[in-house]
Structures are given as structure tokens and as C-alpha cells.
Structure 1
Amino acid sequence: MADERGAELLRGGGGSHRATFLELFLDVVFVFAFTRVSQRLIDDVTAGGGRLPLELTQTLVLLLALWMVWSLTAWATSHYDPERPPIQAVMVGSMFGSLVMAVSVPAAYGPHGLSFAAGYVAIQLGRSIYLTVALRRHSQRHLSGRILVWSGVSAVFWLGGGLVGDDARLLCWAVALVIDYVGVVIGWPVPRLGRAAATAWTVTGEHLAERYQQFTIIALGEMIFVAGVGFSGSDFTLLRWIALVDAFATTVLLWRIYFHRAGSVLAEAVAQARQPARLGQSATWTHLTMIAGIVTTAVGYEVAISEPGGHADVVRVAAIVGGPALFVVGRSRFEYEVFGRVSLSRLVGLLLLVLGVPLLSRLPLIGMAVGVTAVLTGMAVADALRARGRPPERPASPM
């Protein structure tokens, strides 16, 4: 009887595999969280100074923590039935914990460090404890039990980091993140139970793919939000209008490049894969790379809007050119995961972005941004020409 009650929490063969409204509600919190991360990056870039590399590393740690929360929640709702009240309770708890983390981001390395860490730990430990108890004696409880052990170890560093000074806090949180991410990669091994193989996660391909697609849209929407806020708070000069149009065009191009075939057939690729969970796990890292690229691009274009005729220093080049380049790297890997190959346009575009840095860095910020947009436009046009007159390519994942 206890096994049957625990099995009720798992996704069955029936029912909708689409994302629920509560999951979309959770994403709203992450829209806010992303704006906080972007604002931190903008402050870092505009302030400059000798501590810039350290401050950028601090912000990266916060982004990785938020991604860990979202990705594990997405995997949980793909493995468990999000229509069940216990799973909905997990999602509501994750939603509030994510909100606590988001509001703490601006001063996470100051007075709000403990609240950021407490929000993260509450989500990770709370989810695992709740599921371990709710699953009763079902065999799947060992999966949440493994995660609970690893989350308990990392919690020591998260909470300890929230109680110490800024530099020591970064070290503690970096160690905690390494523990959490290594646990995901190697399957959270614990004594006697061993590790959980990727096949232990029975994921719903359509649902998991839709969650990745939605999060990518969130990141792109946040890019428009950052550009719009930056523009509305400045004088409406001609150069700033050009920068705003260019930022919008870049956002549309990133959307187009992501969804052109690979992004649109991800659900089918996961469903057809011999090991769907393995493909889903690999897609987690590629989407993390693309999301980081989009967030960085948003920062670069906000700076270009506020200072269109500004000087292109190393940090601004890294944001305006490096962000799209990072996105293309992730998108290239994503294409391989879905089709087993990488388009020539991806490689040529990435090469142009990298080799074009010496030339682009000589231009004002608006010129650099337009140059990057031109490369992305060429990539999107090449995709359209390659697909013209041909039947839609079907996924052929090597995984």
C-alpha cells in the first residue's frame, strides 16, 4: 500500500505532458531573478576597477545557483506528476525560496548573504526531505535520498559562507557549487546505495523539452526588459535609438537561431533517444551555456544603449562580443545533441566573432554591437537558405 501511494506521485503514461500553469508561475520568479543578476553584471561592468574579475566571479556563482534550483525543479516535475498536491507543494516552496534568493542577489556578498544561502538550502533540502518522506517505501525514494545527502553536505558551505566576509563567502559558495554540480554529474553516490545512473530519471521528453524552451524564452525576454529599462532611463538620441533597434534585432536573431529546427524538435529528439535522461542531462549543460550567453549579451547591449559612442575596453568587448559567442558555442553543442552534427554556419559565425575582435574593438560600442548583429544575421540567413526547398530535418540524436 505504501509503495502504491508513493507510485501515485510519479508520472504515468496518461495525462498531459505539457508544462502546468504552476510551472509557468515559477518561471515568473526567475524573470525577476534574471533581472537582478543582469543588474549586478551591469553594475560590475560600468564600475570597472581592480576588483572586476572577482565581482564577475561572484555574480557567476549566483547565476549558477539559480540555474541549479531551476533545472532540478524542472527535472523533478518531469519525473513526478506536477498535478499531485505534494508535488505542487514542492513547487510552491521552490517558488518562494527562489524569490528569497532573487531579492538577495544585489547584496548577496553583503548583508543579504545569509538570506540568499538560506533560500537555496531550503529549496534543495526541503525538496529532497519532502519527496523522501512522501514516496514512503517506493524504490524511487532512494533517488531523493541520495540528493538529500549531497545537499546536506553542500548546505554546510552555503550557510557557512553566508556568515563570513565577502571573499571567504565566495570561496565557501564556490565549494558548495562544486559539490552540487559534481553530484549531478556523477549521480550523487552514497555508501551502500551507490550512485543513481541517468536512466534512474524516467523523464517525459515533451515536458522536459518544453521547460528548456520556456526558460530560453525567459532569458530572451529578460534581454528585452534590460534593454528597454536602459533606454527609457536615457535621452532618446539617434544613436541610442539605433542601439535599441539593434538590441531588439539581436534578441530576435538569438530566438531564431535557437528554435530553427534543433530547439523546435527537442521534444521529439528526447522521446526518440535510447536514453532520454542522458540527452536531457546533456541538454542541461548546453542550455546553461546558452543562458549565460544571453544574460551576458543583455548586459553588453544595455551598456551599448547607455554609451553608444563609448570606448570599447576589454570588459565591454567581452560582454558585447563574448555573450553571443558563448551562445553560439552552446547552440552548436545543442545541435549536435539533436542532429548528431554541427552546421557550418555555426562554426563560421563563431570564427568571425572571435577573429573579428581586433577590428570590432576599434569601433565605438554601437559599431561593435551592429557588427555582432551582422554576424548573427548571416547565421540565420544561412539556416534559412539551407532549409529552403527541403523537407524538415528529423532529429537523429547520437545519444
Structure 2
Amino acid sequence: MTDERGAELLRGGGGSHRATFLELFLDVVFVFAFTRVSQRLITDVATGGERLPLELAQTLFLLLALWMVWSLTAWATSHYDPEQPPIQAVMVGSMCGSLVMAVSVPDAYGPHGLSFAAGYVSIQLGRSIYLTVALRRHSQRHLSSRIVVWSAVSAVPWLVGGLVGEDLRLLCWGLALAMDYLGLVIGWPVPRLGRATATAWTVTGEHLAERYQQFTIIALGEMIFVAGVGFSGSDFTLLRWIGLLDAFATTVLLWRIYFHRAGSVLVEAVAEARQPARLGRSATWTHLTMIAGIVTAAVGYEVAIAEPGGHADAVRVAAIVGGPALFVVGRARFEYEVFGRVSRSRVIGLLLLVLGVPLLSRLPLLGIAAGVTAVLTGMAVADALRARGRPPERPASPM
């Protein structure tokens, strides 16, 4: 028997599909969280050393944990009605837990490990328990109850990891993240209930697509923030001014490349898909790739601003070139998800970035950054020339 009070929490056919102000408020917390992740990466790149691979893995795990929190919250507000007080309570709780995670990021593998893990577990487990209770006898409670089981199991290595030493913490949190992402991929199967299929997520496609667009803007804004903070704390030399303007130009180009065609029609693509949840789930991994690329690019350009004439070692080249290259990889997959094809400019641009590393490595850091900006500019110009005089392309997702 379906509980009518539980049914009120689900999104209906009417009402606005736009993101609410409370959701945008949550995004403000993630702007702060991203700056903390970027600062960790900047420190990793600056210090280098034999432990650099482990330190990069540590920062990656923190980014993956933050992305899991944001993406599942976005899916929840696309599945449930964010205007309902119980769902707003979920949002506020997620916001509080995200803030705890964000302030713990710098020393998450030091004295603040338990607070980071507790913030994560409280969101993942608390949200699912709360929704399971709030939905009462409604059939949709089985979706959140599956997540309760998986979150409860993964909470053990999360919390244990917060209590042990740095290297063991990395292993524990790696195991916990593997469990959480595996559950997301296979639908959190549990005995008797089975797994949740993509169709179980009766998401509002327009809302979910808009949330992805907004989060991309957040990441791009964080790139400007990191570059601006790095510049303002240094001497205002001519080379640093050029580096700042180059970082700004790259941010604008990444915005242009993202929203050209595919990014601008994502809402329509998800709305018209036969299985919006399937396309939305695929877009989750695509946007994770692009976000990771943007965060890495922010670190690379901050390093180029700090030391425009600095030596181009492998780590710095990887940050300056690898970030945009990773973004292009995600953007190519994104184009396939929306249109079922990949433009030649994406492939050519990616090849230029990768194959040009030996040549770019001979330049100072600012020269490498300028070379990357030139490749992105060529990609954006190719997009504009291909679209000139043609009607807007309609989405044709193979999903």
C-alpha cells in the first residue's frame, strides 16, 4: 500500500524544474571545498618528492568523496521535491556535513581525518535513513533503504580510516570509496530487494542537467579564484600579469568549449531521452572527468603565475597540460552522450596537447600555459566556424 504522505515527497509532473535557492546555497559550500582541494594540489606540486604519487592519490580521494556527496544530493533533489520541508532538511544537513568536510580537507590525512570521515558518513548515511523513514510505506523507500545498507558498510572503513595513520588511512578510504562508487554503478544490490535499476530513479531530467551545468560553472569560478589569490599574494610583475590574463582566457575558453552545443542543450537532451536516468548517470562520470580537469588546470595556472619563468619539470608540465587535456577527454565523451558523435576538433586538440608535451617542456612555465591556451583557442575557433550559418543542432543521444 502506497503512503500518500510519502508520495508528497516525490516530484510530480507540475511545478518548477529549476534549481532552488537552497541548492545554490549548497553550491557555495562546494566553492570553498574546491579551493581547499586546489590548495592541497598546489602544495603537492610545490613540494614534490618521493611521496608525490601518494599525496596525489590522497587529494584525488578527497575530490571523489566531495563529488559523491554533491552528485547524490543533486540526484536526490531531482527525484524528490526540494520544496518539501523534509527534503529541505536533507539539503541543510548535507550542507552542514559538506562544510565539515571542506574545513577538514587541508589536514584530512593528519589530525582532521576523523572529522572529514564523520562529515561524509553523516551525509551519506543520515540522508538515506531520513528518507527511508520519511517515505514511510511508499515503494520508493526501497531505493533509499538499499543505499542505507551500502553506506552503513562503507562507513566502517571511513571511520576506521579517520583513526589510523596516514598510509593506512589512504588504504581504508580507498576501500570505502571503491564500495561507494561500486554501489552507485551496480545499483546498491541487497538481499531480497535486488538492485535499483536506472529506471528506478524517476529523475526530473531538466533539473538534473541544470545542476551539472551549475556545478561546472562553480569549478570554473574556482579556477579564477585560485589564480586571483595566487596573483594577489605575489609581486605585480609584467610576466605575472600575463600569466593572470592567460589563466582568465583559459577559463573563458573552457566555458566556451563546454557550453558550445552540447553543454547548452544538455537540458533538452536529458528531457528527450527515453531513459533520462541512464543519460544522467553517464553524465555523472563525464562531469567528474571534466571537473577533475578544471581543478588540475587551476593548480597548473597558479603555479605558472607564481613562477612564470620557472623550470618545467614533469609534475608542473603534467598540471598545466594534463588538466586541460583531461577536460577535453571528458568533453569529447560529453559530446557523444548528447549527439552520438565526437568533433574532429576535440580529437585534434587532444593530440596536440599530448604530442606537444616534449616541445612544450622546453619552454618556461608561462610559455607552456600560453601553448595550452593556443590549442584551446584553436578548438573554440573551429567550433565557431563549424556552427556558422547552420541551425542549432538538436540532441541525438545514443542513450
Q: TM-score band (shorter)?
A: over 0.9
Q: Tell me, what secondary structure is at the counterpart of 1:321?
A: helix
Kindly report structure 1 stretches of 4+ aligned residues shifted beyond 6 Å: none
| Structure 1 residues 228-257: Cα deviation after superposition (integer angstroms, max 9, x where no partner) | 000000001111011000000000000000
Matched, 1:371 2:371: yes
Q: Tell me, what secondary structure is at the counterpart of 1:383?
A: helix
Instruction: Structure 2 unaligned segments of length 5 or more: list them.
Output: none
Look up the equivalent residue of 2:133 and give its one-letter code. V
CA–CA distance in structure 2, aligned partners of residues 148 and 112 of structure 1: 25
Match of 1:140? 140
Match of 1:69? 69
Look up the equivalent residue of 2:27 and give its one-letter code. D
Q: Tell whether the 8 Å contact from 2:146 to 2:190 is kept in structure 1 after alignment.
A: yes
CA–CA distance in structure 2, aligned partners of residues 214 and 255 of structure 1: 11
Match of 2:299? 299
Match of 2:202? 202
Match of 2:174? 174
Look up the equivalent residue of 1:115 and give its one-letter code. S
Q: Tell whether the 8 Å contact from 2:270 to 2:280 is kept in structure 1 after alignment.
A: yes
Look up the equivalent residue of 1:132 and give its one-letter code. T
Q: Tell whether the 8 Å contact from 2:226 to 2:298 is kept in structure 1 after alignment.
A: yes
| Structure 1 residues 122-155: Cα deviation after superposition (integer angstroms, max 9, x where no partner) | 0000000000000000000000000000000100
Match of 2:325? 325
CA–CA distance in structure 2, aligned partners of residues 394 and 324 of structure 1: 27
**CA shift for structure 1 position 57:** 0.4
Look up the equivalent residue of 2:8 and give its one-letter code. E
Look up the equivalent residue of 2:383 and give its one-letter code. D
Describe how 1:1-399 pairs up with structure 2 within 5 A.
Answer: 3-399=3-399
Instruction: Structure 1 unaligned segments of length 5 or more: list them.
Output: none
CA–CA distance in structure 2, aligned partners of residues 51 and 43 of structure 1: 12
| Structure 1 residues 277-335: Cα deviation after superposition (integer angstroms, max 9, x where no partner) | 00000000000000000000000000000000001111101100000000000000000
**CA shift for structure 1 position 3:** 1.1
Look up the equivalent residue of 2:216 and give its one-letter code. T
CA–CA distance in structure 2, aligned partners of residues 119 and 279 of structure 1: 29
CA–CA distance in structure 2, aligned partners of residues 82 and 116 of structure 1: 26
CA–CA distance in structure 1, aligned partners of residues 251 and 192 of structure 2: 49
CA–CA distance in structure 1, aligned partners of residues 141 and 41 of structure 2: 39
Q: Tell me, what secondary structure is at the counterpart of 2:342?
A: coil
CA–CA distance in structure 2, aligned partners of residues 257 and 145 of structure 1: 40
CA–CA distance in structure 2, aligned partners of residues 99 and 40 of structure 1: 17
Q: Tell whether the 8 Å contact from 2:2 to 2:139 is kept in structure 1 after alignment.
A: no
**CA shift for structure 1 position 60:** 0.2
TM-score (norm 2): 1.00
Look up the equivalent residue of 1:252 and give its one-letter code. V
| Structure 1 residues 361-380: Cα deviation after superposition (integer angstroms, max 9, x where no partner) | 11000000000000000000
**CA shift for structure 1 position 173:** 0.1
Look up the equivalent residue of 2:200 and give its one-letter code. A
Aligned-residue Cα RMSD (Å) equals 0.6
Look up the equivalent residue of 2:33 and give its one-letter code. A
TM-score (norm 1): 1.00
**CA shift for structure 1 position 2:** 6.2
Look up the equivalent residue of 1:19 and give its one-letter code. A
Q: Tell me, what secondary structure is at the counterpart of 2:3?
A: helix
Q: Tell me, what secondary structure is at the counterpart of 1:96?
A: helix
| Structure 1 residues 190-235: Cα deviation after superposition (integer angstroms, max 9, x where no partner) | 0010000011001111100110000000000000000000000000
Q: Tell me, what secondary structure is at the counterpart of 1:192?
A: coil
CA–CA distance in structure 2, aligned partners of residues 50 and 178 of structure 1: 25
Q: Percent identity?
A: 90
